[in-house]
A and B are shown apart, each in its own frame.
Chain A
Amino acid sequence: MKETLQDHAALSDIFNQDEPRVNWHDETLWFVRTKRDRAVNTIPEWELLRETASQIKHNVLSNLSSYLEQFEANAIANGVQVHWAADAKEHNEIVHSILKKHAVNRMVKSKSMLTEECHLNDYLAENGIEVVDTDLGERIVQLADEPPSHIVLPCIHKKKEEIGDLFHIHLGTAAGEADPQVLTEAARQDLRSAFLTRRAALTGVNFAVAETGEIVVCTNEGNADMGVHLADVHIASMGIEKLIPERKHLGFFLRLLTRSATGQPITTYSSHFKKPRPGQEMHIVLVDNGRSRQLGREDFRNSLKCIRCGACMNTCPVYRRSGGHSYQYAISGPIGSILAPNLDMKKHADLPFASTLCGSCSNVCPVKIDIHDQLYKWRQVLVKEGHVSPVKAAGMRGMAWMFSFPAFFNIAGKSGRWFMKYFPFMVNNKLNPWYKEREMPAPPKESFREWYAKREKNKK
């Protein structure tokens, strides 16, 4: 993956240069959000499900060390080999050592945002191991040498014609062929031969049950199962926060997950892997990589409740109009913006500011994470820690100063309105970042304060 030094705003600027394309991106994601709404509205107990899931996850966070030990013991009893990775590097080394042990140099992988977070593919490529991503969207971005731009819809930023061009080069489809049906069939044939020939398969994990030691993987395509059931070795990589206490709790999370993600009542496959197939080896890698640190941050620990549905992205007005790549982190959008600064405050200091704080993300979150509150709190932490540009920090101090003096705030508002009325070019110009992509509104004749003062006076 290419590293850039540009921040979210600069990358969004580039994304916004093609206006019809931005509108298309915006509308496509909003369409997914409306599908979510339709699915949710058929469930009268939806709010009870959200609240219960949130409380279950809270219990998990409050008892995580015991659940981890319980899960490990049960998984081992099921014949699974359990590994622990403190960080991304250790995770990658563990995966590599398992593959080396089996002399495997080609592997299939189903969707796993954790392996994106750990840059596993790059690491394995450096060590001579070829990874084929088998989720169609992930395969497409892999062929394009790009990271996924969305955790559920990895190539949502791509037009079918661009995918057709990629497939023409890599899979030999006809030039100019852009029919999704035809392209999907080509990928099916190509990946089927990969499934049949690879001896190792890596999957992500949606839920891990402490009580039974089993893991659950959700897909629509069936790619996780095709990979695992034809392979001699199954490696499942999971963040330590994926645990849930009991099997019956899956009922709550599976009802919430896909309705929130795509508006489907459930994914086509919810696969429960408990024991390896006879003759097969199954490994589970439990990864911390900053999660225990986030657990210790009282204001931000709720972010670990996330079940990766992507609803906060689909609804976010900033994500929809800036695209996933502008976030420069494996998990983009609002949830990514509260997870990323935990890993590297300096590198991701721009992300909590990539929000209007409208709160729509928190409203759709199936496990009730206070996402927009956390974005607001991260801003304060980042300014305090000195990770915000001096210009922005000075601006914020200036604003804070002005808001603390009502009289000055009054004068500033009045003079602003006066300038907008008589010298509109002072605000309607390219130097004003608020003028970008929008017209400035006509200034009101009076402010709310002035109107209110007048009204109070007239009452008497």
Chain B
Amino acid sequence: MSSRDKILAAVKASQPQLTELPKVTIPQSAEGLAERFTTVATAIGSKVYEISDLEEIKAIVSAQFNSSSRIISSLPEMQDIAETDIAQFDPHSLENVGLAILKAEIGIAENAAAWVPESNAMQRVLPFITQHLALVISKSSLVPTMHQAYEVIGDRDYGYAAFIAGPSKTADIEQSLVLGAHGPRSMTVFLLK
């Protein structure tokens, strides 16, 4: 008997009588989503800019980031300041990326997490290997909690996707918070009207 069959048989013999899955809906207020998102995002170390046009990103990027660093973006509108096609690159070649500007599909007010599926990440490693990360989120795609986020995601297919909330961080040394563990040292969110 294979381990698979052994394990399945043992589990089947041991599992208790079937109980139903709970059916629960948790109602949430959709009031003030942008304010709530911004408050939490700031608390976890992100910088939030409200913008009404993608062009505004360029001025903020040139003021906030080193002009000589390598910038990559999933937004075609950024092509004069960033590389916008990296599909064929070996992921290791992204080692020297300074800033990635990516579109997120959903923003969650309760925890400032943003949904970045593989198609928006361009390469899976990009949102992690870049020294700084900026995400563009439409205000209309903000939801109150994780529950609504998964309602939006539904049964969408993807190979890989991630919720990203803030810059990479650690508090492993005596509970002292340090931003920039292995991933981005900073997170900027552009909330687009």
A and B interact physically: yes
Residues of chain A at the chain B interface (Cβ within 8 Å): 28, 31-32, 45, 48-49, 51-52, 55-56, 58-59, 61-65, 68-69, 84-86, 90, 134-137, 140, 153-156, 159-160, 163, 180-181, 183-185, 188, 191-192, 195-196, 212, 220-223, 225-226, 228-230, 240, 245, 247-248, 250-252, 254-255, 262, 264-277, 286, 288, 292-293, 295-296, 298, 301
Whole-angstrom distance between the alpha carbons of A247 and B153 in the complex? 9
User: Is B63 close to A, CB under 8 A?
Assistant: no
Using known A-B contacts A55-B19, A293-B14, A298-B16, determine if residue A265 contacts B3 with beta carbons closer than 8 Å. Answer: no
State the 6 A-B residue pairs at the shortest beta-carbon distance, nearest first.
A222-B183, A296-B14, A265-B111, A221-B181, A229-B125, A137-B172
Q: When the two chains form their complex, are residues B165 and A267 in contact, meaning their CB atoms are under 8 A apart?
A: yes
Q: Which chain B residue lies CB-closest to A258?
A: B111
Q: How far is the CA of A266 from the CA of B81 in the complex (A)?
A: 32
For this complex, 12 residue pairs linking A to B, each with C-beta atoms less than 8 Å apart, are A59-B22, A62-B17, A68-B7, A69-B8, A134-B182, A184-B180, A212-B155, A220-B168, A221-B183, A222-B182, A245-B21, A296-B14
Which A residues are CB-close (under 8 A) to B151? 248
The residues of A that contact B172 with a CB separation of less than 8 Å are 135-137, 140, 153-155
Interface: B170 (CB within 8 A): yes
Q: Are B3 and A90 in contact (CB under 8 A)?
A: yes
CB-based contact B175/A28 at 8 Å: yes
B125 CB to nearest A CB, Å:
4
Overall SS of chain B's interface: loop
A394 to chain B, nearest CB (A): 35
- B13 contacts the other chain (CB 8 A): yes
- Residues of A close to B162: CB separation below 8 A: 225, 269-272
Task: Specify the chain B residue showing the minimal Cβ separation from A178.
Answer: B173
B4 → chain A, closest Cβ, in Å?
4
Which listed residue, A65, A140, A251, A267, touches B146 by the CB 8 Å rule?
Answer: A251
A contact residues around B125 at 8 Å (CB): 225-226, 229-230
Whole-angstrom distance between the Cβ of B110 and the nearest chain A Cβ: 6
Q: How far is the CB of B189 from chain A (nearest CB, A)?
A: 13
B155–A270 CB distance below 8 A? no
Most B CB contacts (10 A, CB to CB) among A28, A32, A229 go to A229
Which B residues between 140 and 193 are near A, CB-CB below 8 angstroms? Answer: 145-147, 149-151, 153, 155, 157-176, 178, 180-184
A63→B174 contact, CB < 8 A: no
- Interface core residue of B15, B123, B176 (most chain A CB under 10 Å): B15
Known A251-B150, A272-B161; contact A229-B181, beta-carbon cutoff 8 A: no
B168 near A48: Cβ-Cβ < 8 Å: no
Question: Are A84 and B150 within 8 A (Cβ)?
Answer: no
Are A275 and B160 closer than 8 Å at their CB atoms? Answer: yes
Residues of the A chain whose Cβ atoms lie less than 8 Å from the Cβ of B11? 64-65, 68, 240, 288, 292, 295
A61 to B14: give the CA distance in the assembly, Å: 9
Q: Which residues of B contact A184 (CB under 8 A)?
A: 170, 173, 178, 180-181
